[in-house]
């Protein structure tokens, strides 16, 4: 037992020796207590500005600032009219990605350069100068005009979404106002109930109103910004009712019935166009098959008789 106890004491001594070496030589007792309390309490480390920046994703740290610098460079060489038109298109699209006109212009040029280089790389694999020029040029054109096509598509999709959501929104507004809510409270209820482009537009109106902008002016801007004729007509009717002192509930009921009637008319119009749209696939796909089935044997008989 004596050798075993001596061995345990020797091992404990070596362990304590290395623990003493591992301790910081300049650490005071207060620092040691603070370090132990930090391990128990979980005190968060105070983050510097560099630490906060390094925690951001790569796109926010490098890509977006680079695009913004490119955008400012090209914005100085773009006319004010073109920037205003692009801003209107971005507003109609709902500001995707919170892009400004300068950012969108920079995205176009960057996409043009990237797709041009990619087309040039793909074209070199063919080892044909004509194909290299054709593929590289096609890539550059696609990169420059592709974002514009995408923006127009977003505008049409958003306008269609607003158009489809308008009758249900009018019904909810009418019910809320007739139940005793104010018009602002009814708009707030709509923005909370629905999750679509029209609810986002009403949410912007509420935010602008809270910031001090007149409600009628904010609603008029919403009607013009959306680009949807029915929504613009509704906003103008509400503005006229406010100015002339007519009850808002009555105007909302009339507008709701009108939206339902227009949606029914649009559905009937599309149903009437269905027969015309079906004619092309019928003539191009179904009729040739029927002709082959019906006239094929006769043609074979005639060919055999002539042979």
C-beta of residue 89 within 8 angstroms of C-beta of residue 96: no
Alpha-carbon gap, residue 158 to 228, rounded angstroms: 10
Cβ neighbors of 171 (< 8 A, separation 6 or more) are 256
Cβ atoms within 10 A of the Cβ of 212, count? 6
Question: What are the structure tokens assigned to 290, written together?
Answer: 């029927």
Cβ atoms within 10 A of the Cβ of 199, count? 18
**pTM to 2 decimals?**
0.64
Residue 112 has pLDDT above 80, yes or no: yes
Range in 20-24, 45-49, 230-234, 272-276 the model is least confident about: 20-24
Alpha-carbon gap, residue 101 to 93, rounded angstroms: 12
Average pLDDT of the residues of the chain:
77
Q: CA 23: distance to chain centroid? A: 54
Alpha-carbon gap, residue 199 to 164, rounded angstroms: 12
pLDDT digits (tens, 9 = 90+) for 5-61: 665 666 666 556 555 544 544 445 566 666 666 655 544 555 555 555 556 665 565
Q: CA 270: distance to chain centroid? A: 29
């Amino acid at each position: 037992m004596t050798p075993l106890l001596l061995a345990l004491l020797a091992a404990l001594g070596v362990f304590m020796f290395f623990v003493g070496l591992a301790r910081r030589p300049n650490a005071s007792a207060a620092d040691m207590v603070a370090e132990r309390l930090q391990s128990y309490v979980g005190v968060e480390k105070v983050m510097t500005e560099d630490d906060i920046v390094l925690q951001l994703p790569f796109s926010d740290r490098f890509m977006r600032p680079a695009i913004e610098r490119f955008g400012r460079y090209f914005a100085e060489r773009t006319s004010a009219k073109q920037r205003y038109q692009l801003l209107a298109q971005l507003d109609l699209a709902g500001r995707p990605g919170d892009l400004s006109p300068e950012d969108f212009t920079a995205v176009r040029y960057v996409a043009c350069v990237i797709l041009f280089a990619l087309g040039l790389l793909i074209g070199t694999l063919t080892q044909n100068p004509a194909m290299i020029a054709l593929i590289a040029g096609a890539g550059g054109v696609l990169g420059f005009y592709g974002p514009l096509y995408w923006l127009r598509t977003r505008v049409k999709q958003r306008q269609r979404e607003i158009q489809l959501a308008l009758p249900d929104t009018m019904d909810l507004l009418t019910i809320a106002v007739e139940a005793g809510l104010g018009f602002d409270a009814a708009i707030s209820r709509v923005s909370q109930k629905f999750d679509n482009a029209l609810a986002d537009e009403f949410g912007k109106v509420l935010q602008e109103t809270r910031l001090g902008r007149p409600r009628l002016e904010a609603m008029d801007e919403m009607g013009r910004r959306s680009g949807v004729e029915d929504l613009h007509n509704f906003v103008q009717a509400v503005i006229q009712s406010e100015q002339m002192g007519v009850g808002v509930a009555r105007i909302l009921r009339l507008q709701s019935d009108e939206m339902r009637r227009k949606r029914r008319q649009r559905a009937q119009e599309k149903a009437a166009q269905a027969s015309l749209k079906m004619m092309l696939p019928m003539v191009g796909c179904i009729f040739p098959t029927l002709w082959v089935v019906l006239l094929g044997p006769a043609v074979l008989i005639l060919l055999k008789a002539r042979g």
